[in-house]
Structure 1
Amino acid sequence: MKALQMISSVSLIGLIFLCLAWELWLAPVRPGGSWLVLKTLPLLVPLMGILKGRRYTYQWAPMLLLFYFSEGVMRAWSDSGLSAQLGLAEVVLSVVFFFAAIYYAKFSAPSRQASPHQV
């Protein structure tokens, strides 16, 4: 469980930093940065719940990350150079988060917890 929580946390934080760096310095849509950096803000909403291991956050946050997966696929396919590579990195981070989070939510279900009567 701790490993899944760590993987989820690291991939979400990595995605936050990737989106910031991408749109501000590495390959912004416009030179000097663009308003597209605001796409990072929705990633901050589940951050505290993920870091604290709140099961409910692990249940809904993977659906949010599907938008970033879609953007990464589209930018990896349509852009070229560094922007395409960053799109591929976005895809990888969102897939890692997605699977780590859904498995954390699955394995942390109350019905999966060992009861004191079980041996």
Structure 2
Amino acid sequence: MAKVQKYSTQTYRKIALIGYFSLLVYMPLWLIVLAPSQSLSPTLSLIMFTLPLVFPLKGILQGKPYTYAWANFIVMIYFLHSLTTLWVAPEERIFAALELLFASLMFYGGTYYAKYRGQELGLSIREKKADKNEK
């Protein structure tokens, strides 16, 4: 029985793009303007928290499902950062909660976009049963 997807593939892409670009704009804004770190220089903050988001930019703009899939590994940095900040810095909880929201949007949208768009394109990471039987 085929499972019906809840939203269209393009809706998942839009959700991922909202999360991605929100993180891309929000992280330097938070760490340099809104609440600058006492222990990190602005340059180091940019390198640590913005540069990783630039790596998948081209593939994300092109709508490549593989890029959306591996970009989720990068999003884990922001999950960990936001959860750690929520735990250790009560004065920055609102900033960390926004980061967690944006990272969650990117992760959710990116995961389902990669899955459904990959299916639409006939991409698969699993071995086909026919290929297994030939081995």
Q: Same fold (TM over 0.5)?
A: yes
Higher gyration radius (CA): 2
Report runs of 4+ in structure 1 exceeding 4 Å deviation: none
Aligned counterpart, 1:4: 12
Which AA in structure 2 matches 1:41?
Answer: L
User: What is the alpha-carbon root mean square deviation over aligned residues?
Assistant: 1.9
Question: How many residue pairs end up in the alignment?
Answer: 111
Provide TM-score, normalisation by structure 1.
0.84
Matched, 1:106 2:105: no
Provide Cα deviations, 1:49-94, integer angstroms capped at 9, x if missing partner. 112110110110111101110000001111122x221111111111
Matched, 1:75 2:81: no
> 5+ unaligned residues in a row in structure 1: which ranges?
115-119
For residue 103 of structure 2, give the secondary structure of its aligned residue in structure 1.
helix
Aligned counterpart, 1:89: 98
Q: Say whether the 8 Å CA contact 2:75–2:103 is kept in structure 1.
A: yes
Percent identity over the alignment is: 27
Q: Say whether the 8 Å CA contact 2:18–2:105 is kept in structure 1.
A: no
Provide TM-score, normalisation by structure 2.
0.75
> 5+ unaligned residues in a row in structure 2: which ranges?
1-8, 123-135
